[in-house]
Homo-oligomer: A and B are copies of this chain.
Amino acid sequence: MLLEFWYEFASTYSYPAAMRVAAAAKAAGVPLVWRPFMLGPIFGAQGWNDSPFNIYPAKGKYMWRDMTRICEGQGLTLKEPVRFPQNGLKPARLALLGQDESWGPEFTRRVYLANFAEQKDISDEDVLAEILSALGLDAATLLARSNEPANKEHLKTQTEEAIARGIFGAPSFVVGDELFWGNDRLEAALQWAMRST
């Protein structure tokens, strides 16, 4: 069965997940789709107007230490972002355009690196244009398309689909009706996908 990878660019644990999900799915022989969505409306409905890692300091302190260990284990650079959480709306609109295109996964990985390894502002269109250009894409055209009403609406409906599927955090993995929350559930999700053929 298909593995759906649901992610939000502001989400810390989505970074190590995004960097390893393609290789892990390929090794397991499981087809993968990438699904960007926005956590903001979901958190807002729970009464949070900030990351729970900022609202609950003990949890936040732990998360950064845990992320440090995880990134070390995966050989990933982790640097304190320019702000936390960053606003992932603009890159999500672009990733949505690319979600079923060959450039989507690499664009997504590079935005995560910009956020969590390179201390870049991922809400800055110049930063996003640079990433698109480096992939040989027409940055100006894609940025314009990403800001069209139809694409904005598409991101909203995709976020509504996430909520309808039971998603409440990122990263989330979905296999059929089965939800797995967190980078640490990738292996369980892949095992489920391999079992359910």
Contacts and interface: CB of A to CB of B under 8 A. Distances in A.
A166 to B, nearest CB: 6
A166 B62 contact: yes
Contact of A62 (B46, B59, B163, B168): B168
A56 B168 contact: yes
Interface string A56-68: 1011011001100
B56 A179 contact: no
Contacts of A56: 46, 168
Interface in A104-138: none
Chain A: number of interface residues, binned into ranges: 20 to 34
Interface string A153-185: 000000000010011110000000011111011
Contact of A66 (B69, B167, B181): B181
A73 to B, nearest CB: 8
Contacts of A181: 62, 66
